[in-house]
């Protein structure tokens, strides 16, 4: 995630796919029926609330160190049976430094150690030592994604279109489990490729320090996590 941006401020600046579709209906470019068909065909991460709870939130509740809350686009907390779409979930309660946002074409995990109580002398003061965004892009969206969209972030390059919602949300779950409890995160780029106007494709080494002291190595396609170890 770009520097000097609060996680929730950044999420709220990004239109959800739902908001984009609503605009298309209001301006007469699409009908409601066309939107519903497009949602199911076009994007592989247009999750229902039921799926988010069943395959992400409920499994994460097995970890007592997480404090999970779901919110709509107006930042109002919602429950399982709400008719309003989940826009993001907080995984660390009121700290709001560890969350997952859902945009249909893109799901992102945000994590930082921002100290919101720290006094800032100016808007340029940094109150964190790490501030990362892990991006999961719909395969078809990647061809339209440029460097400015991903700069500084970690982009997962495994395919998603061939996975079910349950499998994608399990992937998000597994990333969250690796990241939870991090007290230090360092990002290293170990590979580079770029074709045409698209964003550069990288291999990443992500070094994580947490309080468990357990040394582990976890690999998700182009992203390698080194937990409590140097190599």
- Domains of the chain, residue spans: 7-182
Contact, 5 vs 15, CB < 8 A? Answer: no
Report which of residues 17 and 143 the model is more confident about: 143
**150-201: per-residue pLDDT in tens?**
989 999 999 998 899 999 999 999 999 999 999 999 999 987 776 667 888 9
Q: Crossing angle for the helix pair 32-42 and 17-26, nearest 10 degrees?
A: 150
Handedness of CA 108, 113, 118, 124 (dihedral sign): negative
Q: Where are the alpha helices (DSSP H) in 14-163?
A: 17-26, 32-42, 49-52, 58-60, 147-150
**70-85: per-residue pLDDT in tens?**
999 889 999 888 888 9
* pLDDT tops 90 at residue 220: yes
What is this structure's pTM?
0.80
Per-residue pLDDT band at 126 (split at 50, 70, 90): low
pLDDT of residue 77: 92
What mean pLDDT, rounded, does the chain reach? Answer: 84
């Amino acid at each position: 995630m770009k520097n000097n941006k609060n996680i929730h401020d950044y999420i709220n600046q990004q239109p959800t796919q739902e908001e984009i579709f609503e605009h298309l209906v209001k301006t007469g470019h699409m009908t409601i029926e066309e939107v519903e068909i497009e949602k199911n065909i076009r994007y592989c991460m247009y999750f229902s609330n039921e799926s988010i709870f069943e395959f992400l939130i409920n499994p994460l509740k097995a970890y007592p160190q997480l404090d999970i809350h779901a919110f709509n686009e107006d930042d109002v907390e919602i429950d399982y049976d709400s008719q309003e779409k989940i826009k993001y979930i907080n995984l660390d309660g009121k700290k709001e430094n560890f969350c997952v946002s859902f945009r249909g074409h893109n799901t992102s995990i945000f994590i930082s150690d921002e100290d919101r109580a720290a006094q800032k002398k100016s808007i340029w003061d940094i109150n964190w030592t790490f501030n990362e965004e892990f991006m999961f892009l719909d395969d078809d969206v990647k061809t339209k994604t440029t460097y400015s969209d991903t700069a500084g972030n970690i982009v997962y390059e495994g395919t998603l279109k061939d996975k079910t919602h349950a499998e994608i949300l399990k992937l998000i779950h597994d990333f969250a489990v690796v990241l939870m409890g991090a007290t230090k995160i360092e990002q290293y780029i170990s590979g580079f490729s770029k074709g045409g106007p698209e964003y550069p494709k990288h291999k990443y080494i992500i070094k994580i320090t947490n309080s468990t002291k357990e040394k582990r190595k976890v690999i998700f396609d182009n992203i390698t996590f080194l937990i409590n170890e140097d190599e």
